[in-house]
Amino acid sequence: MVAKRASQKKLPQACRKCHKVLDADKTVCPECQGTALTTEWFGYLVILDCKHSDVAKKMNIEYNGRYALKVR
């Protein structure tokens, strides 16, 4: 007999529009209000101070947070 896991770890999702990384239980992106979320994303970027970050400027990121570098 095979025992089932009580809880399986859910993967974080990324918004296809703004690349914001969200918890698995979210259905709407709080930043852009987009609903196109996916678990197929690569690269992880954390922006702590978007006003002074050159990377945030290149990626057009306006808010601090977690972002995916590539989203499918």
Domain boundaries defined on the chain: 13-71
In this prediction, residue 2 carries a pLDDT of 59
Q: Are 23 and 47 in contact (CB under 8 A)?
A: no
Cα(59)–Cα(8) distance, integer angstroms: 33
**Would you say the C-alpha torsion 12, 44, 46, 58 has a positive or negative sign?**
negative
Residues composing the chain: 72
In this prediction, residue 3 carries a pLDDT of 56
- H or E stretch at 57: helix 54-58
Report pTM: 0.79
Q: Are 38 and 72 in contact (CB under 8 A)?
A: yes
In this prediction, residue 36 carries a pLDDT of 95
**What topology is assigned to 13-71 in CATH?**
Rubrerythrin, domain 2 (2.20.28)
Sites in the chain below the pLDDT cut of 70: 1-7
